[in-house]
Structure 1
Amino acid sequence: MENTTSHWDVVVVGGGPAGACTAGLLAKKGRRVLVLEKEVFPRYHIGESMITGMISVTDELGVTDRIEAEGFEHKPGLSLVWGSEHALWDIKFKEAGPYAHSYHVDRDRFDEILLDRAAELGATVRQGAPVKEPLVEDGRVCGVRYQHDGRTHEARATTVVDASGQGRVVSRHFSDITWHPDLKNLAVWSYFTGTGRLPGDQHGNILVERVKDRTGWFWGIPLGADRMSVGFVAPVEDVRVERGDLEGFFDARLKETEHLRDLLDGSRCVEEYRTARDWSYMAHDYWGPGWVSVGDASCFVDPLLSSGVCLGMLCAVPLADGLDLALDAPEKESRVLDQYADGCRTFHQGITDYVMFFYEQERDKEDYFERAHSIANNPLFTSPRAGFVGLVSGIAGMKSVFGMYGEEAAAAR
């Protein structure tokens, strides 16, 4: 039974980082925004290691101090066992860009901070509110039908933002996706206590270690004094063979590492092993009449560089700017959303292309630096190493997505 119909400037489907940031930025501009999130926060979500590009967005939303106060582990950079030398090397975020560190976070709490802030800024947030279908009139999406408190509701809006992640609750009705044929991976992970740390100033770094003579790599993310998230990523066919014994499969691969194995010596696994499909894809269309996608609803990039959350948060900025302009001047909608889609697609494609290059694991690290420098293509990065740091920190993408609409958007912000 239909219960209520409400009217909004924008309905955002999904309360994760991309959706919460889009909603918060639009509400900050005075727009009437409804966020529909199917889960009730806090809820579990993998993805604990952040890069510094996202801090520009948390600064704009006014939550960086809250994230700091939460006590999340500081992440000053990356430590890698990657490339032809098979040796440990590292980079620091402060080598390129304004931020000395990012954070390793528990996503349940991190996401809750962002969604709470969207509500504080004026967005209406409804949790436990799964969207069932888009509403379409005369070829244009005009809202969604959703469930909440045991009833069915309609929310109508000028624009619906699909921030529902890989489920693509709205956009899958209007756009197909293209899977990347060489990035069909699965991740297996769990959590360990009693773990060690990397030495010296690498103490808070994420560790990314390839498995020698195999396709696959591990992450090790420090989440506290002696707690670590540890995961293994490999082609889907390699993991599926061992699905009946994930722990045995995980342990066998772990023995083939050097540094991570030492960090876990004497540790204890404290949660069940989980798996997730990390198949990279890109949507054919990022927007259509009455709808637009952001975050994983637009594109999913292999987790090798921990870029996913940052990409979604950075793209929320031009999306909010563009929708704000289009709400005042509907005749500008096609232009600004084309600019949004082209800019974010270029950003996504650059990261995906680089991940593919980086997966060529027997290159010299100078090759990785040179390719990153060419993709970043920014005179601020004065050396190939700085270009690499700028790219893997997300800083290289900030200029391309911020100011996408020039002086118009700057005046409106």
Structure 2
Amino acid sequence: MREHTRVLVIGGGPAGSTTAGLLARQGVQVTLLENATFPRYHIGESILPSVLPVLDLLGARAKVEQHGFVRKDGAYFEWGPENWDLNFDHLTGAGGYSYQVIRSEFDKILLDHAAELGVDVRQGTKVTDIEFDQGRPVAAGWVAAGDRSVTGKIGFDFLVDASGRGGLMATKYLKNRHYQEAFKNIAVWSYWRGVTPLDRGPAGAIAVCSVPYGWFWGIPLHNGTYSIGLVAKRTTFTSERERLGGIDAVYFDALAQCPRIAAMVEGAERTGDFKVEQDYSYTAESFTGPGYLMVGDAACFLDPLLSTGVHLATFSGLLAAAAISAIVDGELSEDEATGFFAKAYRQAYERLLVVVSFFYKSYNRQSQFFEADKLTRRERHMLNLYESFLHIVTGIEDLDDTRDGTGALDKVANRMRAQGDIDTQGGIVAGHNEAMNSMPNSPQRSVAGLYLELEPRLRIRRLGTPVVEAE
């Protein structure tokens, strides 16, 4: 391994691979250290359409298209007494579809592609510590995962922490991670074979179906299995586990109260043990500092409800690559570029946080985990509202401004507020002027006079500079 690299990326998941790959395409020297040896297991199998344009920028879309993943044309919701479809073919700018992926395979495609682009990828290499110089990270100690006698140190100019939920910078050095009190949930899932496919909704859809104290996901995978998981508030899950006698008992009790998913797994075989995650909703107080950026789960994670994990990972990787490229090229100062990254990433996270809060706002109801909101009842009759909501929950709004300059979530909130459907004290209104701003990818949505340009090359532009047309 070289002793010094321009950019060190810690972690080879979608956030790290995206950042490293895009930087390599810009001609920046990048070294990526990944503790595991891919393929490795990871949850988060339902991908949003917003990921596909990032795959295009990486040049990796064809590999994903050809792999055989289940094509996902939308989602199907049974939310309390209501049910409805989200059809991705209503979207603009993203191809109208995405994929249900086996993450071990999807993540390996992205990491291998980053290596092909010129990234020095070192798997089975764990970063043990970071060395600082006056508050700026300048070097990382590492150890070979398979042989702890093999160690070393690598210096760098810029650090990208893509270390996932472990969050090396946030948890070990900055101590600035805060958990969302409203989303202290627990997820329990397993895999099933012989599942009866969902008989409604768009082709390849994820099924999201509520039960009195939580909700189930059902995701079809191309190896013939289904990922089926339960999400419940942690306190409720704990009391149910004590009442029923175990995690599996809670899962099957909830399944019995979810007719749609129960019918799908009738006669099917569970293929493995249950997996459990909890306290997974958090955000770092800051995403940047002198010489470093935090991307993907290392910075924040929201909730599995709207399948935003890979979207935020690849989106933040895109922003990080653009910011570092601008610094390396001398187009922006470090403060300008990292400030743009932090503002844009947090903006995307907070806007989705508002939407998920909107869905979960009935957590305190004893008889029902959440009730069908008026948004779901009105969507059949108000196409514009439906399409605005659709663009938000699929992440597209972070890549594609609305033409009239109004954010889609602003439209939803304003329309519903005018109709008396939300309380001005509710979570959807609180701080919405900041949380609902559109992604700054046009002069009209610039942040501190800066905006993101994807073509003809990835860069951050200043307002007033001439736009170079693609040849």
Q: Same fold (TM over 0.5)?
A: yes
Provide the rounded CA distance (Å) in 2 between the counterparts of 1:38 and 1:101: 32
What is the CA distance between 1:330 and its match in structure 2?
A: 8.7
Q: Confirm whether residue 55 of structure 1 aligns to residue 100 of structure 2.
A: no
2:234 aligns with 236
Structure 2: 5+ residue stretches without partners: 362-369, 401-438, 459-471
2:153 aligns with 154
Aligned residues: 396
Percent identical residues:
35
1:319 aligns with 320
Q: Confirm whether residue 67 of structure 1 aligns to residue 64 of structure 2.
A: yes
Relative to structure 1, is the Cα distance of residues 252 and 289 closer, same or farther in structure 2, using a 3 angstrom cutoff? same
Q: Is the 8 A contact 1:55 1:64 kept in 2?
A: yes
One of 333, 348, 364 as aligned partner of 2:373: 364
Q: Is the 8 A contact 1:322 1:409 kept in 2?
A: no
Cα-to-partner distance string for 1:128-167 (whole Å, 9 max, x where unaligned): 1111111111221112111125422111111110000111
Q: Is the 8 A contact 1:14 1:162 kept in 2?
A: yes
1:181 aligns with 181
One of 65, 71, 85 as aligned partner of 1:90: 85
2:251 aligns with 250
Relative to structure 1, is the Cα distance of residues 336 and 258 closer, same or farther in structure 2, using a 3 angstrom cutoff? same
Provide the rounded CA distance (Å) in 1 between the counterparts of 2:269 and 2:455: 51
Q: Is the 8 A contact 1:5 1:154 kept in 2?
A: no
Q: Confirm whether residue 21 of structure 1 aligns to residue 18 of structure 2.
A: yes
What is the CA distance between 1:406 and its match in structure 2?
A: 3.2
Structure 1: 5+ residue stretches without partners: 374-381
Provide the rounded CA distance (Å) in 1 between the counterparts of 2:360 and 2:281: 14
| Length-normalised TM-score, structure 1 | 0.90
Provide the rounded CA distance (Å) in 2 between the counterparts of 1:194 and 1:352: 35
What is the CA distance between 1:363 and its match in structure 2?
A: 3.8
User: What amino acid maps onto 2:232 in structure 1?
Assistant: A
1:376 aligns with none
Relative to structure 1, is the Cα distance of residues 393 and 155 closer, same or farther in structure 2, using a 3 angstrom cutoff? same
Provide the rounded CA distance (Å) in 2 between the counterparts of 1:273 and 1:283: 29
Q: Is the 8 A contact 2:326 2:332 kept in 1?
A: no
| Length-normalised TM-score, structure 2 | 0.80
One of 127, 132, 139 as aligned partner of 2:128: 132
1:406 aligns with 451
What is the CA distance between 1:328 and its match in structure 2?
A: 2.9
Q: Is the 8 A contact 1:325 1:409 kept in 2?
A: no
1:309 aligns with 310
1:34 aligns with 31
User: What amino acid maps onto 1:119 in structure 2?
Assistant: A
Provide the rounded CA distance (Å) in 2 between the counterparts of 1:330 and 1:287: 19
Cα-to-partner distance string for 1:113-139 (whole Å, 9 max, x where unaligned): 000011000000001111111111122
Cα-to-partner distance string for 1:86-134 (whole Å, 9 max, x where unaligned): 1331110111223221100000000000000110000000011111111
What is the CA distance between 1:226 and its match in structure 2?
A: 4.7
Relative to structure 1, is the Cα distance of residues 363 and 88 closer, same or farther in structure 2, using a 3 angstrom cutoff? closer
Q: Is the 8 A contact 2:75 2:201 kept in 1?
A: no
Q: Is the 8 A contact 2:440 2:451 kept in 1?
A: no
Which deviates more, 87-96 or 393-402? 393-402
Provide the rounded CA distance (Å) in 2 between the counterparts of 1:51 and 1:174: 31
Relative to structure 1, is the Cα distance of residues 358 and 261 closer, same or farther in structure 2, using a 3 angstrom cutoff? same
Provide the rounded CA distance (Å) in 2 between the counterparts of 1:157 and 1:330: 20
User: What amino acid maps onto 2:213 in structure 1?
Assistant: T
Relative to structure 1, is the Cα distance of residues 331 and 391 closer, same or farther in structure 2, using a 3 angstrom cutoff? closer
Relative to structure 1, is the Cα distance of residues 196 and 224 closer, same or farther in structure 2, using a 3 angstrom cutoff? farther
Q: Is the 8 A contact 2:179 2:279 kept in 1?
A: no
What is the CA distance between 1:209 and its match in structure 2?
A: 0.4
Higher relative contact order, chain-length normalized (CA < 8 Å, sep 6+):
1
Provide the rounded CA distance (Å) in 2 between the counterparts of 1:7 and 1:217: 48
Provide the rounded CA distance (Å) in 2 between the counterparts of 1:408 and 1:357: 31
Root mean square deviation of aligned Cα: 2.2
User: What amino acid maps onto 1:87 in structure 2?
Assistant: E
Provide the rounded CA distance (Å) in 2 between the counterparts of 1:392 and 1:187: 20
Q: Is the 8 A contact 2:76 2:200 kept in 1?
A: no
What is the CA distance between 1:412 and its match in structure 2?
A: 5.4
